[in-house]
Amino acid sequence: MIGVNDGVGRRVAGVSGGAVDSRVCAAHPSGATNVTTEDSMHHEAAQHFSFGTRAIHAGVEPEPVTGAIMTPIFQTSTYVQPAVGEPREGRYDYGRTANPTREALEGSIASLEGGTHGVAFASGLAAIEAVVKRLSAGDHVVSEENTYGGTTRMFDHVLSRLGLEFTYVDARDESAVAAAMRPETKLVHVETPTNPMMKLCDIAAVAEIAHDGGALLSVDNTFASPFNQRPLELGADFTIHSSTKYVNGHSDVIGGLVAIRDEALAEELYFIRKSSGAVPGPMDCFLTLRGIKTLHVRMERHNANGLAVARWLEDHPRIDRVLYPGLPSHDQHELAARQMSGFTGMVSVDVGSLERTKALTEHLRVFALAESLGGIESLVNVPALMTHGSVPEERREAMGMTPGLIRFSVGIEDVDDLIADLDRVLA
């Protein structure tokens, strides 16, 4: 019985009806796709308006029965079908396969990233895993060496056991990416700016190298957010977010998102998600969608506060080195200015030693000592001992991730209070 009516058994072709949802199509900024929605206000908002307007409206329709302006939380595992094997809208058969709250979120991220489709996952790592799971045993991945620590752990300790091979490179150097390509390379995976070293890679240049070698490019855009950087517009095939961070922005959800501008790739990801099961819950989708509505306003303040804190730290005699792509002293500032429209609230500094790191981070009052980033509240983290503890020590040292490195996620509090907090512990 199970497997017949539970939404798993009937579809053999791997096609999720959600892929061509009118809401997702309506979110296409070019308006090129066929749109079936009758609501022209929301449809037009998604097509023609600029980022802030799309952050509020794209993917979202008023609920048809009551007109509720907020997307309802469809907290259901299954749907009643009018006839045997005829789910409503051709897809509402089971909650893993289709959920309207999730589809609204997917339409939103597709629009904000300049894509045609969005795919929501239970976490950022589940989103990255799904992109890599398109590959088969024997395939090869070229990855930036300084990715999120959990990404490296998944590649080295889970996916490599299944027969995938990974080569790590410093993607600042495009010739290193090109040199690592092999005939069996199917994916290049980068993060820019990287966490926590704030290294950048030239997305357009790396996309060309990947495509020339017959591979696709995925960009983990978590650090920049779609407000500051849109990799699909620069030639990437997948933009990935840990929506846990800036996209949701309120430190109350773990989630992942992928945006794509190719229908066949989207279908593959819907199929992988349905088959592997890493779906986000409806409540988490609702909260993330609610968070996105203020993404542009939050990011403006994160960008301003980040720059102010970075400048202040750079002038401080007790700080050895500040890593922030928005400072002219950053060795890739020119690329940052070309590829990004803002530089976020992520600032890393080197204070020289573990003792000084502890003395500083444990006595801040406004900055909370915690992992994660991108929320409205300011956080501080010691990567070598916290977020990146799972990265092998030799690799950490090679990247310059010393125990004296501190990473700040500058929130959207009043910046004077943030600087006063830093001033007190540095005095």
Ligand X SMILES: *Cc1c(COP(=O)(O)O)cnc(C)c1O
Q: Which residues bind ligand X (CB under 6 A)?
A: 123-125, 148, 150-151, 191, 195, 220, 222-223, 242, 244-245, 254, 256
Nearer to ligand X, 45 or 299 (CB): 299
- Could you tell me the smallest distance in angstroms from the CB atom of residue 163 to ligand X? 23
- Closest distance of CB 211 from ligand X, Å: 23
174: which 2 tokens? 């495009």
Q: Round the CA-based radius of gyration of the chain to a whole number and report it.
A: 22
Encoded tokens for 150: 């959990």
On the question of a cis peptide bond just before residue 64, with omega within 30 degrees of 0, the verdict is: no
Q: Which is nearer to ligand X, 99 or 123 (CB)?
A: 123
Active site residue 396: no
User: Smallest gap, in angstroms, from Cβ of residue 75 to ligand X?
Assistant: 21
Residue of 202, 220, 237, 284 marked catalytic: 220
Residue closer to ligand X, measured from CB, 4 or 385 = 385
- Residue 424 annotated to the active site: no
- Select which of 54, 245, 274, 298 is catalytic: 245
DSSP 333-366: HHHHHHH-S---SEEEEE-SSHHHHHHHHTT-SS
Active site residue 245: yes
Give the shortest CB-349-to-ligand X separation in angstroms. Answer: 18
Q: Minimum Å distance from CB 123 to ligand X?
A: 3
Cβ closest to ligand X, residue 150 vs residue 213: 150
Q: Minimum CB separation from ligand X for residue 14, in Å?
A: 25
CB of 123 or CB of 225, closer to ligand X: 123
Check 23, 54, 91, 96 and give the catalytic one.
96
> Do residues 133 and 161 lie in contact, with contact meaning Cβ atoms separated by under 8 Å?
no
- Complex with ligand X: residue 120 or 210, whichever CB lies closer: 120
CB of 148 or CB of 270, closer to ligand X = 148
Integer Cα distance of 160 and 106 in angstroms? 30
Q: What is the rounded CA–CA span in Å between residue 274 and residue 15?
A: 10
Shortest separation between residue 88's beta carbon and ligand X, angstroms? 31
Dihedral in degrees, nearest 10, Cα atoms 408, 410, 413, 415: 90
148 given a catalytic annotation:
yes
Closest CA to 283 of 118, 425, 101, 135: 101
Nearest to 70 by CA among 110, 28, 44, 105: 105
Instruction: Please choose, from the candidates 298, 242, 27, the residue with its C-alpha nearest in 3D space to the C-alpha of residue 125.
Output: 242
Beta strands in 122-236 (DSSP E): 140-144, 165-169, 185-191, 216-220
Give the separation between CA 33 and CA 23, rounded to whole angstroms. 11
Minimum CB separation of residue 223 from ligand X in Å reads 6
Closest residue to ligand X, based on beta-carbon distance? 124
Catalytic residue among 79, 92, 148, 168: 148
State the CB neighbour count (10 A cutoff) for residue 272: 20
Encoding tokens for residue 310?
């970075």
- Judged by beta carbon, residue 18 or residue 193, the one nearer ligand X is 193
Q: Which residues of 132-151 are buried (b: 16+ CB within 10 A; e: fewer)?
A: bbbbeeebbbbbbbbbbbbb
Residue 26 DSSP symbol: H
Residue reference for tokens 């007109």? 67
Active site positions, annotated: 96, 148, 220, 245
